[in-house]
Amino acid sequence: MLTTSEQIVYTNEAKCRDCYKCVRVCPVNAIRMSGGQASVVNERCIMCGTCIRNCPQNAKTYRRDIHKVREFLDGGYTTAVSIAPSFPALFNEWEIKRIPSLLRKLGFRYVYETAVGAFYSAWFSATELQSKDKRNLVCSACPSFVNYVRKYHPSLTDQLSGVDSPMIAHAKIIRSTVGSDVKTIFIGPCIAKKGEAGEPGNKGLVDAVLTFDELLELTEEKGISIDTLEESCFDSVPAGASRLYPVSGGFFRTAGIDYSGLKDSVTAVSGYEEVSELIRMLKEEKGVIAEALFCQTGCTNGPGLKSDIDLHSRKRRVIRYAAAGAESTGNEYDPMPYTDGSISFARKITPSPVTEKQFTEEQVREVLEHTGRINDSDRLDCGACGYSSCYEKALAVLRGMAEKEMCLPYMKKMAEQRSDKIIESTPNAIVILNYKLEIIKINPAFRRFFVCGNSSIGKPISLIIDPEHFIRLRESREEKTEIQQEHPKYGLVCHQLIYKLKEENQIVGIFVDVTKNLTDTRKLDDLRRQTIIQARELLNHQIEMAQKMAQFLGENTARGEILVENLIQLTADPAKSVNDKSAKNWLWDTGTSKR
Ligand code: SF4
Ligand code: SF4
């Protein structure tokens, strides 16, 4: 099993929110759900990138190879870049003319278009077609399509063309012209090319694969602005119409095969639906000649090419560039030196079937029963889980690819059961009314609060309680109201939350019994009132005391003044007799006696 860093398409677990979106979009069910995480099973994955485009959390991603390219550029290696013919889809006309300069500025020694290799792929495929007799033959530069056939329709592998893809053909040409120690870097819109470069038969030909998105990252990292660059040319010119290769039908044009869409045995397909149709044809018919690309409309819609430009405009840019290239280069086409067979562009594609463990009907039925899919009528085959039928999903559970709980109707039912349980057991009264304010549902607490039974169902709420607040909410634009209401008939005071269920045209009332709280509050208020009265009495008493004290202090002050006066007099007149009447007074007044 590959580690995350070796795997080409993988999940960033921290971002995965368990939404099953990738499971639903993956055309080959290569995503395993386990413990609330969606992981890509490498053996099943065809690297089409569909999950990457569709994940709302950007949790699906692919292996980045920029670090490798940095090493080559900074390590003094001789480097050659091969840029896929879909590159004009990403840039405007002005920028397209500066792409060779950009690649040189980034540090690549040789800058080429993969279209050079595409010409030879088409040339040798056309030769192969001439000798195919009545056999079907599918020419595909698309590794996702090739993976799809090898893994899921292995019996059709021998109907695939035995000629190298443009990337591999070009890598062979680069090695033969620049030298075997060259580091070849392919840049394109495709994630699956990363896998193709690592195939055992291709080892050592392409040293790194960057997507266009990675190219832009590298450009930004190096602080290069295309605006500041000069127009320049690539180091060689591709032959024929090979710059059209990335658009559906481009291979046929390059190979010179009559493809007008009117010959029923010659077909160009793109996108999963058309690919599935082609697979059916290959199984049922003979003499089919096909060109297949897994991305809808072709590589200009590859997962490594993020662009705001619509698919039609991208295609037009490629077509315009191909046409302009042919005009500007006149007869200076590559002299086609490799058509003589001096380089072998043969490839061997071997089947790599995904083996599915088989299970008995009994085992499948057990899983189906677990999620309540007992009878045929319970099996909705809704596809919400990402599998085409309840049966397929049950098989996926047994194969360890899916979790039992991934069934939406089952989850909904469970949630309903759970909420039913809450409604049944809550101590708060709940009533659900229709817009005519007739009772649809009541819970046990409601029956207890308002002394009623299930016979109230269908009757107006006004027969049980004052409906005023329900009426007001129904007539207003408000979504909910929260009030406290007395129900004297039942000796209750309730805190009430009343809200609308708009889609259902229903009104829900939740009643919380606050009678006891209210009684306690009233008791508390009484206590508070009594305390205030007592406090007030105490205060009055203290004021009275204070006044008396003040009076007393006032007397003492007057006496003190007399004493001080006497003392001064005594100090000033030592001869004054202590027997003097006034002197006796002050001695007496400074005593410790109680008064
Ligand atoms: S890359 Fe394609 S095949 Fe692989 S997991 Fe994603 S959607 Fe499935
Ligand atoms: S159509 Fe092109 S970009 Fe898409 S998977 Fe195939 S080769 Fe890659």
Q: Is 269 helix (H, G, I), strand (E, B) or coil?
A: strand
- pLDDT tens readout for residues 423-451: 888 899 999 999 999 999 999 999 999 99
Radius of gyration of the chain (CA): 44
CA distances from residue 62 to 6, 53, 87, 194, 244 in whole angstroms, order as listed:
10, 11, 20, 9, 27
- pLDDT tens readout for residues 338-388: 888 889 999 999 999 999 899 999 999 998 888 777 777 777 788 888 898
- Which of 263-267, 535-539, 589-593 shows the highest mean pLDDT? 263-267
Q: Is 89 in the pocket of ligand 2 (CB under 6 A)?
A: no
- pLDDT tens readout for residues 457-470: 999 999 999 999 99
Q: Is 190 in the pocket of ligand 2 (CB under 6 A)?
A: yes
Q: Is 48 in the pocket of ligand 2 (CB under 6 A)?
A: yes
Which residues, other chains included, contact 164 with Cβ-Cβ below 8 Å and sequence gap of 6+? Answer: 117, 120, 121, 172, 345, 346, 347
Say which residue, 412 or 68, is predicted with more confidence.
68
Q: What is the residue with the minimal CA distance to atom 6 of ligand 1?
A: 51
Q: How far is the CA of 344 from the centre of ligand 2 (A)?
A: 24
* Residue 554, pLDDT score: 57
Instruction: For residue 576, name the pLDDT band (cuts at 50, 70, 90).
Output: very low
CA distances from residue 471 to 314, 461, 466, 467 in whole angstroms, order as listed:
59, 10, 10, 6
Q: How far apart, in whole angstroms, are the C-alpha atoms of residue 125 and residue 123?
A: 6
Q: In what order do the strands lie in the sheet with 289-293?
A: 137-139, 289-293, 266-270
* Residue 559, pLDDT score: 52
Average pLDDT score over the chain: 86
Considering only CA atoms, which of 228, 232, 249, 250 is closest in space to residue 241?
A: 250
Q: How far apart, in whole angstroms, are the C-alpha atoms of residue 357 and residue 353?
A: 12
- pLDDT tens readout for residues 479-520: 999 999 999 999 999 999 999 998 888 999 999 999 988 888
Asked which of 159-163, 208-212, 334-338 is least confident by mean pLDDT, the reply is 334-338
Question: What DSSP character marks residue 30?
Answer: -
Instruction: For residue 583, name the pLDDT band (cuts at 50, 70, 90).
Output: very low
Name the closest ligand to CA 152: 1
Q: What is the residue with the minimal CA distance to atom 8 of ligand 1?
A: 26
Query: Token pair for residue 414?
Result: 């469970």
Q: How far apart, in whole angstroms, are the C-alpha atoms of residue 76 and residue 54?
A: 39
Which residues, other chains included, contact 472 with Cβ-Cβ below 8 Å and sequence gap of 6+? Answer: 481
- pLDDT tens readout for residues 310-333: 999 999 999 999 988 754 444 444
Position 478: which residue type? E
> Ligand 1: which of 39, 43, 45 to mutate, judged by most atoms within 8 Å of the beta carbon?
45
- pLDDT tens readout for residues 215-262: 999 999 999 999 999 999 999 888 888 999 998 889 998 988 877 665
Instruction: For residue 526, name the pLDDT band (cuts at 50, 70, 90).
Output: confident
Say which residue, 307 or 4, is predicted with more confidence.
307
| Closest approach atom of ligand 1 to CA 9 | 1
ipTM over 0.95: no
